[in-house]
Structure 1
Amino acid sequence: MDPVTSTAASAQISSGRTGLVSNFETFLQLLTAQVENQDPLSPLDSNDFTAQLTQMAGVEQQLLTNDLLTSLLAQGEGGLGSAAGYLGQEITASWGATRFEDGAADWNYELGADAHVVTLEVVNGAGNTVWSGPAPQKGAGIHSFSWDGTTNAGGKVAEGGTYTLRVTAKTAGGQDIEAQPLITGRVTGVEMYEGEPYLVVGGSVLPLTSVFALSMAQNDDDAETGSQTQTQTQTQSNAS
């Protein structure tokens, strides 16, 4: 038995729809010709006419059903279906927007080379910079940054707002260095927006297309077991 793939199913639905459309148009032509050429003294029985209209409505409903099935298959293959495989995985994405929750907003940022000056900006949903300052680290690679919600004006932002990190890096001579904000974490959900799949990672909802690294998430129990094993090994080594 050959497996049924979404591509094959879509092809079958498309082929079936073509046949239904052809039959539907032929049916309309025959029904119209029948009404136009019926004997005025012996018109078509109303029950027969109603039955034919019911059949026509059934064909039309089948066409709509096929269109819906095609749409669902397309969504499953290119949307939720492909994104569902990311659930529970650790990802890294080129994305700078996240929510301010539990008193912090956390990002990573990547520098393409050692920098002389690295400036970080936290921007609110209106596009205004609410905080800016020097980055904690300026070497090439990936670094973490946590913002406690304090603004340059000395205030504190409210919980739940979405903020975006901007990174600017320059050499001692003032030349630009490639830099970008990153979101790293475990995928806990998948959502659809305007037909595109988005992943839920911590306080961020980011497009699937922004992901450039994926790794198998370590189970918390496994991590704890590994830590205990390492501790026991160190204890035994020290006792020896």
Structure 2
Amino acid sequence: MAVSNTSSTTTAGFQNTSSTTSTNTVTGSQTAIAGNFDQFLSLLTTQLKNQSPLDPLDTNQFTSQLVQFAGVEQQLKMNDTLSALLTLNKATTTTDAVGFIGATITADGATAPLKNGTAYWSVNMASAGTANITVKDSSGSVVRTLTTSLAAGEQTVQWDGSTSTGGTAPAGDYTITVDAKDLAGQAVVAKTEIIGVVDSIDLSGDTPMLKIGTISVAIDKVKKVIKG
């Protein structure tokens, strides 16, 4: 396994290079409002038809009821407008998601696919130092560990699939953990991100998900996009 960065540190199997729609449905709440609206209109009309000529409806009460009538009508129209906006937003989000297909993205996460003998991650070090990198398969079993030097800032870590036993790991999803220390031996933060090519979009949920093999990535987790 080999890890290399701009200072030419190498360990077999890793390389790192510093680079310092679903349809909206009207819910029961709007149905209830519509029902109350129709009921209110029916009661008001009946009240006006059956009021006593000798004791007509009080003007203040009538005005108050008209205000309520207008408020309910406005709320119904507002709900219809909101529903239309949500539908439009869903369609726009879906269109945007489809545009990611074929692009290489960097996103929050630590699990990346080993494909064609290579897996990539982005590691961002708070300061230069050393890191113990552990690679685990989808079942949580450790397949490779190594210690390497990493530069401060963002760098790409590339794994060639070689295992600690000298074999080659099969294609699949692998997760890394990075335990990093600075040059003085103090623990430092090393943030991991995944790198991969979006090959499909999952539209089965409320939010479209970008798919890198079997890995799902929410659009709001994407940090960088490179069009191929």
Q: TM-score range by the shorter chain?
A: 0.5 to 0.7
Q: Does 1:176 align with 2:190?
A: no
CA contact (8 A) 2:209 2:217 kept: yes
- Sort the Cα spacing of 1:21 and 1:77 in 2 relative to 1 into closer, same or farther, 3 A: farther
Residue matched to 2:90:
76
Q: Does 1:103 align with 2:117?
A: yes
CA contact (8 A) 1:76 1:82 kept: no
Query: Structure 2 regions of 5+ residues with no counterpart?
Result: 1-23, 41-79
Residue matched to 1:43:
none
Residue matched to 1:122:
135
Residue matched to 2:159:
147
Residue matched to 1:133:
146
Query: Structure 1 regions of 5+ residues with no counterpart?
Result: 1-9, 27-65, 219-240
- Sort the Cα spacing of 1:21 and 1:75 in 2 relative to 1 into closer, same or farther, 3 A: farther
Counterpart pick for 2:177 among 146, 166, 187: 166
Q: How far is 1:164 from its partner?
A: 0.9
Q: How far is 1:190 from its partner?
A: 2.4
- Sort the Cα spacing of 1:151 and 1:193 in 2 relative to 1 into closer, same or farther, 3 A: farther
Q: How far is 1:170 from its partner?
A: 0.1
SS of corresponding position for 1:73: helix
1:1-240 map, 5 Å: 17-18=31-32, 20-22=34-36, 73=87, 76=90, 80=94, 83-84=97-98, 86-87=100-101, 91-115=105-129, 117-135=130-148, 137-159=149-171, 161-185=172-196, 187-192=198-203, 195-201=206-212, 204-214=215-225, 217=227
Question: Bigger shift: 122-131 or 204-213?
Answer: 204-213
Task: Output the amino acid matched with 2:133.
Answer: L
Higher relative contact order (CA 8 A, sep 6+): 2
- Sort the Cα spacing of 1:193 and 1:130 in 2 relative to 1 into closer, same or farther, 3 A: farther
Q: Which whole-Å CA distance do the structure 2 matches of 1:186 and 1:196 have between them?
A: 19
Percent of aligned positions that are identical = 23
Q: Which whole-Å CA distance do the structure 2 matches of 1:14 and 1:78 have between them?
A: 26
Count of residues in correspondence between the two structures: 164
Q: How far is 1:131 from its partner?
A: 0.6
TM-score, normalization: structure 2?
A: 0.54
- Sort the Cα spacing of 1:148 and 1:88 in 2 relative to 1 into closer, same or farther, 3 A: closer
Q: Which whole-Å CA distance do the structure 2 matches of 1:24 and 1:147 have between them?
A: 66
Q: Which whole-Å CA distance do the structure 2 matches of 1:101 and 1:83 have between them?
A: 23
Q: Which whole-Å CA distance do the structure 2 matches of 1:74 and 1:82 have between them?
A: 12
Which structure has the highest strand share of the two? 2
Cα RMSD after superposing both structures: 4.1
Q: Which whole-Å CA distance do the structure 2 matches of 1:184 and 1:74 have between them?
A: 31
Q: Which whole-Å CA distance do the structure 1 matches of 2:151 and 2:222 have between them?
A: 23
Task: Output the amino acid matched with 1:111.
Answer: M
Question: Bigger shift: 193-202 or 77-86?
Answer: 77-86
Q: Which whole-Å CA distance do the structure 2 matches of 1:125 and 1:13 have between them?
A: 39
Residue matched to 2:11:
none
